[in-house]
A = this chain, B = another copy of it.
Amino acid sequence: MAASESQLIERYFRELGARREDTVLGIGDDAALLRVPGDCELVLTTDALIEGVHFLPGAPARALGHRALAVNLSDIAAMGASPSWALLSLNLPAAEDPWLREFAAGFGALARSHEVALVGGNLSRGALSITVELAGLVPAGQALRRDGAHAGDELYVSGSVGDAAGGLKLLQGEVTAPAAETAYLQRRFEYPTPRVALGAALRGIASACIDVSDGVYIDATRLLAASGCAARIELERLPLSAPLRRAFGELAWRPALCGGEDYELCFTAAPAQAGAVAAAAARTGQAVTRIGALRPGTGLTLAAAGSVMQFSPSAFDHFGD
């Protein structure tokens, strides 16, 4: 006999993630009850992973559990907030124990490492898709928004960009690379590392922030549009990992600029904050790289070898991408 939704939830999800003292009531009632400190704002986000759209059919369940939470943690990180509670809606074609065990292991490990409690959700039969809702807390008035940047600010990105898009191309078999580079880049796609500590450390330092889910070009453009500024990015400054350079050579800048799924932070800060940015990066063990500067106007200009580069991103951000 098939297990019921309640039995599966009990088996795999009941105690998943961290225990938190501010969880009054978790899984098992009509809704969760949670305590939000009076001096904090609540931060809410949701993001979904759909088979065939955001991941390849047959993708490992553990990686999906990790990634479904990671993409949401990245949104919380981009607000400079601390994650706290998650809800999980899982649509599955069939309830297979090994798949669920692996999925829960990937989700649970990342949740525990970020002090996130799983407090609700549901399981349904359907085409494979995973929707996570994540709540976080941020001291009132201190969230990092997209609209706070000013002309004159400097533009930064954390970590390295392009790895995830490179890893996806390798997984899809569109390109090939040596085993070590392939393993590194695929892992960057399957197990993205949300920059939660860095986001929180940038409160009071960064003027605006966004996470890089659709590529630096698109996401920086969104930040600029929200802030009413223009910017110029120096292509040579884009932080590229050694495996990406080795696997993609001269073309590595393309996934770095236009590939998505990196879940790095793209942020701005006044030049006077450069030291504070470096200190926040050092304190959280996170590389950050200044890739350009903001100016009055609109739009994003790219420069290579000191010259403005003609660039027209082909159809990005279409519905369903």
Contacts and interface: CB of A to CB of B under 8 A. Distances in A.
Interface string A34-61: 1111100111111110111110000000
Interface in A10-29: 24-25, 28-29
A167 interface: no
Interface string A76-102: 101101000101110100010000000
Contacts of A120: 44-46
A48 B226 contact: no
A119 B137 CA distance: 16
Interface in A93-144: 95, 119-127, 129, 131, 133, 135-136, 138, 140, 143
A87 B46 contact: yes
A313 to B, nearest CB: 12
Which of A8, A42, A89, A91 counts the most B-chain CB atoms under 10 A from its CB? A42
A278 B5 CA distance: 35
A98 to B, nearest CB: 15
Given A46-B89, A133-B87, A210-B30, A127 B127 contact: yes
A175 interface: no
Given A8-B319, A319-B8, A44 B28 contact: no
A30 B124 contact: no
Interface size class, chain A: 35 or more
B47 A122 contact: yes
Given A5-B317, A29-B226, A30-B210, A44 B124 contact: no
Which of A38, A127, A319, A321 counts the most B-chain CB atoms under 10 A from its CB? A319
A261 interface: no
Interface in A185-241: 209-211, 226
B54 A31 contact: no
A181 interface: no
A315 interface: yes
Given A4-B319, A30-B75, A211-B30, A44 B85 contact: yes
B129 A126 contact: yes
A146 interface: yes
Given A33-B79, A315-B1, A87 B44 contact: yes
Nearest to A146: B29
Given A89-B46, A131-B48, A318-B2, A33 B138 contact: yes
30 contacts: A1-B318, A4-B318, A5-B317, A5-B320, A25-B145, A29-B146, A30-B146, A31-B44, A31-B45, A31-B75, A32-B43, A32-B45, A34-B42, A37-B38, A42-B42, A44-B119, A44-B135, A45-B87, A46-B88, A46-B121, A46-B133, A48-B131, A52-B126, A87-B133, A89-B89, A95-B319, A95-B320, A126-B127, A126-B320, A127-B129
